[in-house]
Amino acid sequence: MDRGLRRTRLVALAAVVGLGLTACGGSTIKDKETKAGAAECGDLRIAVNPWTGYVSNAHVIGLVAQDELGCNVTYPDVKEQVGWQGMADGTIDTIVENWGHDDLVKKYIDQQGAVEDAGLTGNEGIIGWYVPPWMAEKYPDITDWQNLNKYADLFKTSESGGQGQLLDGDPSYVTNDEALVKNLDLDYKVVVGGSEAALIQSFKSAEANKTPLLAYFYDPQWFFSEMDLVKVNLPEYTDGCDADAAKVACDYPPYHLNKLISTKFADSGSPAVDLIKNFQWTNDDQNLVSTYIARDGMSPDDAAQKWIDDNQDKVDAWLK
């Protein structure tokens, strides 16, 4: 035929020969083995909420379930509320770090009975207002809330309309900040940042440029291994002082983080149920894994594997 066709044929021939050569060099499929006993556990779908500490919990549990119990683990990325909804409609099996969420507890555990509490994770959650280290050094008395008004001018920004700026985070986070500012008579305005990324980047810039910043933050959190943020002390928390959301004038309570499991999954008899219920570790453990992921850039599975290798005794305790 014409030249174009002949050339194309040549290319095709070259491709076939090339392929043949590559095939000789490659290994065959049989060389790769599948994980043994995959049928025993079945699927395990661990919701992954959007903060790094949570990712650590999820992947440590997931990796143990996969390697020791032979589960087929998947990690759907969802926000807290979507995760709860997913447990109710059967598309999610478990949430492995839950911060309170009284409204969701009421709806899904008390009313619908679709979700069960699976015990504490051992992590203590702290919420509060933080300043970058350079500020705590320069203005040592700033860590007492009663001195905040004295420094309000420092925190003025183009967003805060003449008052000091208190930067808040992702809307899904638990917060009383607007009520606190009002009830403690602080000359501040709550400005919503919108995400964990916004908060961390703000702290980074503030420390690098020595600019003032007062922001909502929380622990456990990998970022503390990078920067020693200093907490501002609010009036001490006493039982019930936060009962009326509009009248709160005290610090956040310490949160005992827990795990959740969908009722359907709990009744399924999967060996992973016991693993999730037994899982417990400390803030330091979690921060270590989170640092591997966020600061050292390891993949969540590699980070989890590294921690598991170093802490086999703790893992064994979950599996007993």
Partner 1 sequence: MSVVAAPPVVSSKEEQPYVDPERNRHTGYKLLAILMVWLVLWLALRGHQTRELGLQDKTGFHDWLNEVRDWVQLHGADNWFFGGVLGGIADFFNAVFEFIQKLVSVGAFPRPVPEIGWLGVVALATWATYAAAGLRATLLVVFSLLAFGVTGLWSPSMDTLIITLFSVLLCIIVGLPVGVLMARRDRVSAAITPLLDAMQTMPSFVYLLPMALFFGIGAACAVAITVVYALPPLIRITEHGIRSVPETTVEAARSMGMTQRQLLWQVQLPMARRTIVVGINQSTMAALSMAVIAAFVAGPGLGPLVNSGLQNQNVGVAAVPGLAIVLMAIMLDRTTTAASERTSKGGGIASVSGPGVMLAGVVLERLPRWATEDAGKGEKRPRLTAAGRSSLLAVLLIPVLVAVWLSRYTLSLAEFPDVSNTPVLKYLDGASLAQDINDFTDWLVPAVDTFTLALKDDVSNWLLNPLQSLLADSPWWVMAGVLIAFAWTVGGWRPAVVTVLCEAVIFGTGLWNDSMVTLTMTIVATLLTMLVALVIGVAMGRNRRVDVITRPFLDAFQTIPPFVYLVPALALFGVGRFTAIVAAIAYAAPIATKLVADGIRGVSPTTVEAARASGSTAWQMITKVQLPMARQALVLATNQGLLYVLSMVVIGGTVGGGSLGYIVYSGFTQDPLFGKGLAAGIAITAIGIMLDRIARSAAARHGR
Give residues 183-202 in contact with partner 1 (rule: CB under 8 A). Answer: 191-198, 200-202
> Which region holds residue 161: left if phi is over 0, alpha if psi is between -120 and 50, else beta?
left
Report if residue 312 touches partner 1, rule: CB under 8 A. no
Nearest approach in angstroms of CB 304 to partner 1 is: 14
The contacts of residue 268 (CB under 8 Å, 6+ apart) are 42
Three-state secondary-structure class, residue 211: coil
Among 42, 67, 70, 91, binds partner 1 (CB under 8 A): 91
Residue from 60, 104, 135, 276 binding partner 1 (CB under 8 A): 104
| DSSP-based three-state secondary structure for 147 | helix
Closer to partner 1 by Cβ: residue 33 or 244: 33
Where in 44-83 is the site for partner 1 (CB under 8 A)?
50-52, 55, 76-82
Choose, by CB under 8 A, the member of 40, 43, 89, 316 that binds partner 1. 89
Contacting residue, 10, 12, 147, 210, with partner 1 by CB under 8 A: 12
Query: What is the smallest separation between the CB atom of 70 and partner 1, expressed in angstroms?
Result: 13
Of residues 109-138, which lie at the interface with partner 1 (CB under 8 A)? 112
Structure-token pair, residue 208: 């690098």
CB closer to partner 1 out of 149 and 195: 195
Minimum distance from residue 147 beta carbon to partner 1 (Å): 24
Residue that the structure tokens 């959301």 belong to: 245
Task: Tell me if 15 contacts partner 1 by CB under 8 A.
Answer: yes
Measured CA to CA in angstroms, residue 158 lies from 4, 161, 164 at distances of 66, 7, 10
Taking each helix axis from N to C end, the angle separating 312-319 and 52-69, rounded to the nearest 10 degrees, works out to 70
Residue 154 found at the interface with partner 1 (CB under 8 A): no
Max Cα separation, the chain?
Answer: 91
Comparison of 208 and 317: residue with beta carbon closer to partner 1: 208
Shortest reach from residue 224's CB to partner 1, in Å: 14
> Which residues ranging from 247 to 266 are in contact with partner 1 (CB under 8 A)?
none
Residue 158 token pair: 């183009």
Q: Which of 163, 151, 145, 103 lies closest to 250 in space, CA to CA?
A: 145
| 31-50 positions binding partner 1, by CB under 8 A | 31-34, 38, 50
Please enumerate, as own/partner, the contacts of 58-61 that have beta carbons within 8 Å and a separation of 24 or more: 58/96, 58/300, 59/289, 59/300, 59/301, 59/303, 59/304, 60/279, 60/281, 60/289, 60/304, 60/307, 60/308, 61/96, 61/275, 61/276, 61/279
Would you count residue 167 as binding partner 1 (CB under 8 A)?
yes
Identify residues 204-243 at the interface with partner 1 (CB under 8 A).
204-205, 208-209
CB under 8 A: which stretch of 3-11, 261-269, 277-285, 302-310 binds partner 1?
3-11
